[in-house]
């Protein structure tokens, strides 16, 4: 809502020294957020004066006709002699009153005016168009002022109102009343404690008889319809300058007098109006629901298929307007209309909101109706409009007019007088609530501590005691609410929340950089991952309105986002990249749609369960992707490339910080390299549960995402890892000496080291403290298809120093199990 200050001051007795900025900051604190204060014409500098065209000499030797004018500018040019000005416009005659800007002046946009030679003549200034003056958009020629507007030489800046401060207010959805000068004026008057002159308070004479026939088919669609006629209207009558200027300053394009008047009254009172060409209307005006299959071509030349939920204004020929949204083309007021029927109605908010959304049509009217229009202002608004048509367009106002009403009962709210104070945490003086509620138009009755409040017809948003509390608090000043510290009974983060922080810290400390990629993916990503036709990861949640039609799905794996981010880094010359992301993936539950529950009471456990069952399963994952060097080259020597092993180690580290052991096993799982992929398992209550995969990526996936060769990745389900956590019991620390035994075992090359290590650990028994692989050898000495694997075993007893025999026996037992399980033999 754009509010010119001089217009507003017509309705509020604001002190003269209150500037637009002062008012803006008060309104903003009170809930009408002034986004900007436009100081129109602030950069305008005179001399800018009225002038009378004395003589026009047509210059014909140029490509376009040019006029050399002598203009009377009174004494404004210092000499009193006529001013000589070259002008390219042709819409004026000798004797016309125009606006001339003289040398030394500056027009909006830093346009400096001087005397200069043009078209072979000296031109000392310029005759101005409305656009050049910032009045309104008009490229058809210069401004010709009506006779009697003023005298040559008079300053035009003041006369034309070229300097104006305009407040631009972002109106919240609850404050429909503030989409009018009247509503803003009321808040301003309340804030400053000054008088309000309500523009809706005009005298409206009772109708002298029936006006145009009309009816409302269903009171649920509209509860008031007013039609007022004006005849003998001059369709060529111009809109006066002041009205055009105000419309332009308010952001509304001037069109024609009849349309401008309806817009002007809408800005003034907040009531959208429609001006019908009465001669084109056939029979009774009916407010009804659109019929199935009904069509209407609206003012914007769009043929619209109406919905049976749309409200229409119809005549006997059919729908003529989508009520509260946009008028129809057929009955539009035209350049020949002399009989005007002004319609003012109060339509149901929700119907208009739905229609506006359905037709993707947000108009000045729909914005107001869906936020709530005064349900009693229609007669005043229609009357104001026809009176303006009479005054400015020579029409006669018909004294018989139509008023159809189905008034709703008054709503009352009861509230304790102290309620606003107890919401704010401030003790307001006795009578505070009544004072402010009355100022905004409420009727307030007090019975002891209880107030019975009837909100005014223009405040449909006031329905609950807290709405009233807000009104009281905002006029008492939100800024005056004190700050009081409080503290809750919380017991800190949960184990799970603390653990999640640790995952991230650990990965960052081991060289990985966290990214937060978008969860949107497309078919192409799933193809890039080389997923099979029935891979469960293809089963995705789909968005009805994705930002990008190529990416309508939600991720079922973190990998695509990580791959793209990795590729972006590489494209920026960052070649050694290790990334990680923790976030949710979305796995459809296929349990139907989520029901919309009631809001009158809390839901039952069963209801919540039904809602939650419909939601996708959303486990938390961590993904890691690595490319380039894991260790750099340097003065210490060669670095090394990141490999499949780094990816698996990242997964092991994730489990380790959770205190969970990870079982690693070879697996084939896209998008990983089939020979370099590990499946990762944890034990949950004795059961082995898949927690994720890690390894080097498949060359085809690498190609699809444009990744560096040998890029490695891991993805682990953190919820699964967390579920495998067990309470840590303190170990008993033996202070007896350690006995170390190294064994080198020869096995088939295909035997996984993990299996060998597990077998040794199991065979070694309780005395084993640790088993660690320290060498893998393949070569001639062990023979084709074989490998030698060397482990360091450490033995220790809790209660004694182990003898060499005891340690040896434990080692032999370990080797025996390894031999039995894997066919291993002791080397050499």
* Binding site feature residues: 461, 467, 470-471
Taking the least distance from each CB to other proteins, the nearer of 315 and 370 is 370
Taking the least distance from each CB to other proteins, the nearer of 336 and 598 is 598
Taking the least distance from each CB to other proteins, the nearer of 568 and 827 is 568
- CA nearest neighbour of 307 among 355, 341, 353: 355
Residues 162-191 that bind other proteins (CB under 8 A): 172-175
- Alpha-carbon radius of gyration of the chain: 41
510 binds other proteins (CB under 8 A): yes
- CA nearest neighbour of 618 among 703, 526, 684, 556: 556
Asked if 559 and 531 touch (Cβ cutoff 8 Å), the reply is no
CB of residue 579 to other proteins, shortest distance in Å = 7
Taking the least distance from each CB to other proteins, the nearer of 239 and 517 is 517
Taking the least distance from each CB to other proteins, the nearer of 586 and 777 is 586
CB of residue 640 to other proteins, shortest distance in Å = 9
Give bridge partners of residue 443 from the DSSP assignment. Answer: 454
Q: Which of 15, 109, 148, 492 binds other proteins (CB under 8 A)?
A: 492
Residues 341-400 that bind other proteins (CB under 8 A): 350, 353-354, 357, 370-371
CA–CA dist 683, 721 (Å, integer): 9
Write the secondary structure of 402-416 as one string of H (helix), E (strand) and C (coil). Answer: EEEECCCCCCCEEEE
Q: Which of 109, 490, 685, 785 binds other proteins (CB under 8 A)?
A: 490
Asked if 222 and 345 touch (Cβ cutoff 8 Å), the reply is yes
Asked if 630 and 650 touch (Cβ cutoff 8 Å), the reply is no
Give bridge partners of residue 768 from the DSSP assignment. Answer: 795
CB of residue 467 to other proteins, shortest distance in Å = 6
By three-state DSSP, how is residue 627 classified?
strand
> Cα 356 to the chain's mean position, in Å?
18
CB of residue 15 to other proteins, shortest distance in Å = 20
Those residues whose C-beta lies under 8 Å from the C-beta of residue 581, and which sit 6 or more positions away, are: 514, 515, 516, 517, 558, 561, 562, 622, 623
499 binds other proteins (CB under 8 A): no
CB of residue 271 to other proteins, shortest distance in Å = 18
CB of residue 371 to other proteins, shortest distance in Å = 6
CB of residue 810 to other proteins, shortest distance in Å = 37
Residues 431-470 that bind other proteins (CB under 8 A): 464, 466-467, 469-470
Asked if 137 and 253 touch (Cβ cutoff 8 Å), the reply is yes
CA–CA dist 476, 453 (Å, integer): 19
Q: Which of 203, 335, 599, 804 binds other proteins (CB under 8 A)?
A: 599
Give bridge partners of residue 87 from the DSSP assignment. Answer: 67
By three-state DSSP, how is residue 391 classified?
helix
Q: What residues are designated binding site for Mg(2+)?
A: 461, 467, 470-471
- CA nearest neighbour of 814 among 800, 795, 797: 795
590 binds other proteins (CB under 8 A): yes
507 binds other proteins (CB under 8 A): yes
29 binds other proteins (CB under 8 A): yes
By three-state DSSP, how is residue 777 classified?
strand
Give bridge partners of residue 453 from the DSSP assignment. Answer: 413, 444
Taking the least distance from each CB to other proteins, the nearer of 484 and 533 is 484
Bond from prior residue into 47 cis (ω within 30 degrees of 0) = yes
Taking the least distance from each CB to other proteins, the nearer of 83 and 366 is 366
Spell out the alpha helix ranges (H) of 108-231.
130-133, 156-160, 181-192
Q: Which x/- pattern, by CB under 8 A, does the window 212-251 give for other proteins?
A: ----------------------------------------
479 binds other proteins (CB under 8 A): yes
Options 83-91, 279-287, 579-587, 734-742: segment touching other proteins (CB under 8 A): 579-587
Taking the CA of residue 348 as centre, how many other CA atoms within 13 Å lie in the half-sphere pointing to its CB? 19
Residues 511-570 that bind other proteins (CB under 8 A): 511-519, 541-547, 554, 565, 568-569
Options 391-399, 499-507, 662-670, 700-708: segment touching other proteins (CB under 8 A): 499-507
502 binds other proteins (CB under 8 A): no
């Amino acid at each position: 809502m754009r509010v010119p200050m001089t217009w507003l001051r017509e309705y509020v007795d604001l002190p003269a020294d209150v500037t637009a900025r002062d008012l803006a900051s008060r309104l903003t604190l009170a809930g009408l957020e002034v986004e900007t204060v436009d100081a129109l014409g602030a950069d305008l500098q005179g001399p800018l004066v009225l002038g009378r065209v004395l003589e026009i000499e047509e210059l014909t030797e140029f490509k376009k006709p040019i006029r050399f004018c002598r203009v009377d500018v009174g004494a404004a040019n210092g000499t009193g002699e006529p001013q000589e000005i070259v002008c390219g416009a042709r819409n004026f005659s000798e004797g016309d009153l125009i606006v001339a800007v003289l040398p030394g002046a500056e027009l909006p946009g830093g346009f400096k005016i001087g005397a200069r030679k043009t078209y072979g003549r000296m031109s000392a200034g310029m005759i101005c168009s409305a656009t050049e003056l910032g009045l309104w958009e008009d490229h058809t020629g210069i401004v010709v002022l009506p006779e009697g507007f003023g005298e040559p030489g008079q300053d035009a800046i003041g006369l034309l109102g070229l300097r104006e401060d305009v407040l631009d207010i972002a109106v919240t959805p609850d404050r429909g009343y503030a989409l009018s000068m009247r509503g803003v004026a009321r808040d301003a008057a309340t804030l400053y404690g000054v008088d309000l002159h309500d523009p809706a308070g005009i005298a409206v004479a009772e109708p002298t008889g029936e006006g145009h026939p009309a009816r409302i088919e269903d009171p649920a669609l509209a509860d008031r319809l007013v039609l007022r006629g004006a005849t003998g209207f001059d369709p060529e009558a111009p809109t006066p300058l002041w009205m055009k200027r105000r419309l332009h300053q308010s952001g509304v394009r001037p069109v024609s007098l009849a349309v401008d008047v309806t817009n002007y009254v809408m800005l003034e009172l907040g009531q959208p109006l429609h001006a019908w060409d009465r001669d084109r209307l056939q029979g009774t005006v009916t407010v009804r629901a659109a019929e199935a299959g009904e069509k209407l071509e609206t003012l914007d030349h769009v043929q619209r298929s109406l919905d049976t939920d749309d409200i229409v204004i119809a005549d006997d020929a059919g729908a003529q307007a989508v009520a509260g949204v946009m008028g129809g083309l057929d009955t539009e007021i035209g350049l020949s209309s002399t009989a005007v029927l002004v319609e003012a109605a109060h339509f149901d908010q929700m119907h208009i909101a739905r229609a506006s959304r359905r037709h993707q049509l947000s108009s000045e009217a729909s914005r107001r109706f869906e936020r709530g229009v005064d349900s009693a202002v229609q007669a005043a608004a229609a009357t104001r409009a026809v009176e303006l048509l009479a005054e400015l367009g020579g029409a006669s106002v018909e004294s018989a007019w139509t008023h159809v009403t189905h008034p709703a009962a008054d709503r009352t709210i009861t509230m304790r007088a102290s309620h606003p104070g107890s919401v704010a945490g401030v003790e307001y003086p006795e009578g505070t609530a009544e004072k402010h509620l009355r100022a905004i138009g409420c009727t307030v009755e007090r019975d002891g501590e209880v107030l019975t409040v009837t909100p005014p017809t223009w405040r449909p948003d006031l329905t609950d005691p807290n709405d009233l509390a807000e009104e009281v608090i905002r006029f008492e000043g939100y800024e005056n609410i004190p700050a009081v510290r409080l503290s809750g009974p919380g017991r800190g983060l949960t184990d799970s929340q603390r653990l999640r922080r640790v995952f991230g810290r650990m990965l960052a400390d081991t060289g990985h950089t966290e990214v937060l990629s978008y969860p949107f993916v497309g078919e192409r990503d799933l193809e890039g991952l080389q997923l099979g036709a029935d891979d469960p990861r293809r089963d995705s949640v789909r968005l009805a309105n994705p930002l990008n039609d190529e990416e309508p799905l939600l991720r079922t794996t973190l990998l695509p986002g990580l791959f793209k981010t990795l590729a972006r880094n590489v494209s920026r010359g960052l070649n050694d990249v290790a990334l990680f992301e923790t976030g949710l993936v979305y796995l459809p539950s296929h349990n139907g749609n989520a029901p919309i529950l009631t809001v009158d009471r809390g839901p039952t456990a069963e209801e919540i369960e039904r809602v939650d069952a419909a939601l996708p399963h959303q486990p938390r994952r961590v993904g890691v992707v690595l490319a380039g060097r894991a260790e750099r080259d340097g003065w210490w020597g060669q670095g090394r490339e990141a490999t499949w092993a780094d990816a698996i180690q990242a997964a092991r580290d994730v489990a380790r910080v959770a205190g969970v052991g990870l079982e690693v096993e070879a697996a084939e799982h896209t998008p990983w390299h089939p020979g370099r992929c590990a499946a990762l398992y944890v034990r949950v209550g004795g059961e082995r549960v898949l927690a994720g995969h890690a390894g080097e990526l498949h060359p085809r996936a690498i190609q699809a995402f444009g990744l560096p060769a040998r890029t490695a990745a891991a993805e682990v389900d953190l919820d699964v890892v967390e579920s495998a956590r067990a309470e840590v019991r303190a170990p008993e620390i033996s202070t007896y000496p350690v006995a170390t035994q190294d064994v080198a075992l020869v096995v088939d090359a295909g035997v996984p080291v993990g299996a060998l290590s597990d077998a040794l650990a199991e065979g070694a028994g309780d005395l084993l403290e640790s088993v660690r692989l320290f060498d893998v050898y393949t070569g001639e000495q062990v023979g084709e298809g074989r490998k030698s694997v060397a482990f360091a075993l450490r033995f220790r007893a809790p209660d004694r120093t182990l003898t060499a025999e005891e340690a040896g026996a434990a080692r032999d037992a370990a080797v025996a199990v390894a031999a039995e399980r894997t066919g291993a033999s002791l080397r050499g």
